[in-house]
Amino acid sequence: MSEDRLAFLTAELKRHNELYYQKAAPEISDREYDLLLRELIELEAEFPLFADPNSPTKNVGGAPLDAFQQVAHLEKMASLDNAFTESELTDFYTRLQKGLNTPGSAVPVTVEAKIDGVAIAIIYRDGKLERAATRGDGTHGDDITQNVRTIKTVPEKLPAGAPALVELRGEIFMTNAGFAKLNESRDEAGLPAFVNPRNATAGSLKQLDSKETAKRPLDIVIHGAALSEAPTMSAFYDQLEQLSLPRATLFYPCPTLEDALAAVREIDTKRHDLPYETDGAVIKLDDRAAQKQLGSTSKAPRWAIAFKYPPEEKPTRLHKISIQVGRTGVLTPVAELDPVFVSGTTVSRATLHNEDEISRKDVREGDTVLIQKAGEIIPAVVRVLKEHRPEGTTPFDLFAHVDGKCPSCDGPISKEEGFVAWRCTNFECPAQAVSKIKQFASRKALDIDAIGSVVAETVVSRDLAKTPLDLFSIPVDVLDTLNLGTDEKPRKLGDKNAHKIRQTLERARTESPLHRWIYALGIPHIGESSAREIARLHEDLYAVAESEILKKITQVATLETKQREISPRNRSNPPANDTEKLERQKTYDALKSEIAGINTSLAEFHITPDVGPVAAASILTFFQSEAGQRTLTRLKELGVQAKSDSFAPAGQAPPPGAEDSPIAGKTFVITGTLSQSRDHFKDRILAAGGKVSGSISKKTDYLLAGEKAGSKLTKAESLGVTVLDEPAFEALFA
């Protein structure tokens, strides 16, 4: 039994390591992981013959990622052993005394708050940032220098007096407020929420595009260094202050054990007021020469330990699940709770994120649940106490809960493919008014001057516009006096901006091409590239609404689904006998013939992958809905023309001047970092009669690839698509 348990713990901890380090998607808390690891350590000590040579007890962290270049640390980056009680801290202190041959004597230590972040090593050479890497396996880590450069508190250059060469060690983390805002935006986008700030931080640092990392609210604290000449940790912290490097605010030099235990208790009372999440305190030997004397095990230093505070969890009753409609139409379930005091505040509501999360935890109305603050700020349901579940409860079904209608407008809701959230699809939904107006006026849509977030929020809050088309009805004099500030501190939009809005709206009414109007309507799954392709296939907006081309695309998808279901080779639904098998084969062949016929009729249009069955179904559903019909009627009343400026559905003549161009009729995909914006290259391709798609397929003719091309380059190579760098692209044009 002990051998089985040891094997189980080894495999389970390896799985959790992969989830934590490689995928940034932990399933259990740090404390639960630490307890499993401790049990494995004890079993391996008792039964060493059964221990795995590659046991998690011998590894520092996860293997480095394949997506980043691997670099070696100047000195090994170790993780820390853990203590869960004050008696275990006392045992650690006794080991320090014994290791230094000073039994019974005071050994100065330092105590600091332990930030729950991602370990990082940053090399500065001659005062300049040279490289940043994750801990990885302790000896090698992922080179994430470009991502770390996006963190504002990481200086590119150290002030005078910095060491000639130093490898700083620290934790990159996400502030609680930033984490809350990030999860809110992910909920609004219908994306899975991050479990905690550490999980969100790890995911941010693993972005292959540093521009995406720059959007995340990351920060850093330095707590150690390789090659530092500071004699003590206290002196090192003073040096950090002199170099203007961020350090822990809760830091205590402690001459005695009693001082250290008092500091651990004090940090526990103060840490809830910090702007970031902490999960413990770190106790280190102050004397750095003595640290080297004690050395390390294969996994952790002997001169430091982490004390883990138990997370505060409180039980309470979930009496109702309510549904909020976000600014992008996402329906977010919220737990309505009996008030309970957790981590310093009274909690009566907690986000449940989405229906998938509710199903995973099996949360039901009437349940008793454990509540914890994720990131010490966001109340979250940790798990259900099923032993207290009342009789008669049923699994939660969001669609049935809202009777298939948006709680804000009674409009239809749908669950989009590839997303976890339900969304209201009504163009006129008041809960979405601000985001709809912002997209409508954005540069890639109708490019309406002077309408940004503040103006959009103001016209909605003052009941001047419930939909983007209401902007056409707001008089100039009303816009002129529009107060963008508060009643106490008014700030008018002004005559100049009011006339800009009116002039650009009038221009959009008659001059903006079809693809901009399609994108401006904010229809789900219709991005800039798909809007351009739809505009190529149709003369005007009213033709799009009745499109036979789009109907055929959706018809093919429906028939293919039916074909898969009735296939005689369907293992999940095999035919009952030979007679049924024969009948299904006939139906299968008939469907195959019908699909081939439709595809033949579509072939002449050379449709790019940007307009697939999901996009086609989405735009048809929109125009068939009551809100879509009202939108078309309103557009006619406003005199909106929305004519295609690229109508060429079946190989019509290319744009003037592009007749002899080798680009004409060719489909391009653009990826990576180029010398100029993607829009620059896109405009040139379109002007030469080519097409630009957002995704790679067998129909793609060329991939224009800059630096850091990523997965699109890999897919293009696997499909045999011609890959062009910029010189090759220019040569093609020449």
**Percent of the residues in the chain that have a pLDDT greater than 70, as a whole number:** 90
User: What is the structure's pLDDT at 249?
Assistant: 87
| Alpha helices, H only, 142-227 | 145-148, 176-189, 197-205, 210-214
Q: Which of 550, 498, 544 is nearest to 521 (CA)?
A: 544
DSSP string for residues in 194-260: PSSHHHHHHHHHT-SSHHHHHTS-EEEEEEEEES---SBHHHHHHHHHHTT----SSEEEESSHHHH
Tokens in use for 391? 């009789």
Which residues on adjacent β-strands are paired with residue 254? 109
Provide the pLDDT for residue 199. Answer: 81
Residue 60: its pLDDT value, please? 47
User: What CATH superfamily classification does 70-308 receive?
Assistant: DNA ligase/mRNA capping enzyme (3.30.470.30)
Pairwise CA distance, residues 219 & 277, whole Å? 12
- Measured distance CA(363)–CA(368) in Å, rounded: 9
* Cβ burial, residue 726 (10 Å; 0-12/13-18/19+): middle
Three-class DSSP category at 118:
strand
In the three-class reduction of DSSP (H, G, I as helix; E, B as strand; rest coil), residue 711 is classed as helix
114 catalytic? Reply is yes
For the segment 282-310, the average pLDDT, to the nearest whole number, is 91
What is the pLDDT at residue 453?
A: 84
Rounded CA-CA distance 449/495 in Å is 13
Topology (CATH level 3) of domain 315-401: OB fold (Dihydrolipoamide Acetyltransferase, E2P) (2.40.50)
* CB neighbours of residue 218 within 10 Å: 26
CA–CA distance, 358 with 415 (Å, rounded to integer): 15
Nearest to 432 by CA among 442, 440, 421: 440
pLDDT digits (tens, 9 = 90+) for 180-204: 888 777 766 666 777 778 888 888 8
What count of Cα atoms within 13 Å lies in the side-chain half-sphere of residue 333? 27
Return the residue matching tokens 């994108």.
Answer: 519
| Integer Rg of the chain from CA | 31
Beta strand 278-285 with 109-115 is antiparallel
pLDDT given at position 124 = 93
Pick the catalytic residue: 23, 98, 114, 292?
114
Mapped onto helix, strand or coil, the DSSP state of residue 175 is: strand
Question: Domain 2-58 in CATH: superfamily?
Answer: Helix hairpin bin (1.10.287.610)
Which of 353, 469, 345 has its CA nearest to residue 420? 353
Q: Which two tokens stand for residue 711?
A: 């997965």
State how far the Cα of 321 lies from the Cα of 373, in Å rounded to an integer. 18
Distance CA 605, CA 608 (A): 9
User: What is the domain partition of the chain in residue ranges?
Assistant: 2-58, 70-308, 315-401, 425-511, 512-652, 656-734
Neighbours of 519 (CB within 10 A): 24
Q: Residue 593 pLDDT more than 60?
A: yes
Contact 285, 305 (CB under 8 A): no
Q: What value does the mean pLDDT take over residues 444-468?
A: 90
Nearest to 417 by CA among 562, 523, 522, 524: 524
Instruction: Provide the 10 A C-beta neighbour count for residue 105.
Output: 9
> pLDDT band at residue 150, thresholds of 50, 70 and 90?
confident
Contacts of 544 (CB under 8 A, 6+ apart): 514, 518, 534, 538, 550, 619, 623
pLDDT of 653 reads 47
Bigger pLDDT: 37 vs 144: 144
**Tell me, what amino acid is at 567?**
S
Percent of the chain with pLDDT over 90: 38
Q: How far is the first Cα of the chain from the last one, in angstroms, to the nearest whole number?
A: 74
31-35, 437-441, 589-593, 696-700: which range is least confident on average?
31-35
The three-state secondary structure class of 376 is coil
Measure the CA–CA gap between 485 and 501, rounded to whole angstroms: 19
Q: Thinking of the domain 425-511, which architecture would CATH place it in? A: Orthogonal Bundle (1.10)
Sign of CA dihedral 535, 536, 540, 544: negative
Give the H or E element holding residue 115.
strand 109-115
The amino acid sitting at 728 is: A
Q: Where are the alpha helices (DSSP H) in 511-547?
A: 514-520, 528-537, 541-545
pLDDT, tens digit (0-9, with 9 covering 90-100), for 43-85: 777 766 667 766 766 554 555 444 678 889 998 888 889 998 9
CA distances from 70 to 167, 192, 205, 459 (A): 16, 29, 15, 52
The closest alpha carbon to 708, from 24, 212, 141, 215, belongs to 212
Mean pLDDT is lowest, of 64-73, 402-411, 560-569, 689-698, for 64-73
Which H or E run contains 358? helix 355-361
> 137 CB contacts (<8 Å, ≥6 apart)?
59, 60, 61, 62, 63, 64
Contacts of 358 (CB under 8 A, 6+ apart): 321, 333, 352, 396, 398
488-503 residue pLDDT tens:
888 899 999 999 999 9
pLDDT at res. 24: 54
pLDDT for 29: 63
Each residue's pLDDT tens digit, 6-42: 777 777 777 776 666 555 556 666 666 777 777 777 7
3-state secondary structure of 662: coil
* Ramachandran category for residue 412: left, alpha or beta (phi over 0 → left; psi -120 to 50 → alpha): beta
Q: What is the mean pLDDT of the chain?
A: 85
Q: Of 360 and 38, which is predicted with more confidence?
A: 360
| Alpha-carbon distances of 209 from 118, 172, 560, 707, rounded to whole Å | 18, 18, 36, 11
The count of residues in the chain is: 734
Cβ atoms within 10 Å of 571's Cβ, excluding its own = 6
Supply 710's token pair.
Answer: 């990523």
- φ, ψ of residue 694 to 5 degrees: the values are -95, -5
692 touches 658 (CB < 8 A) = no
The pLDDT of residue 316 is above 50: yes
CATH architecture of the region 656-734? 3-Layer(aba) Sandwich (3.40)
Could you give the CA distance from residue 544 to residue 526 in angstroms, rounded to a whole number?
Answer: 13
Amino acid at 513: P
Mean pLDDT across the stretch 247-257? 93
Distance CA 236, CA 286 (A): 10
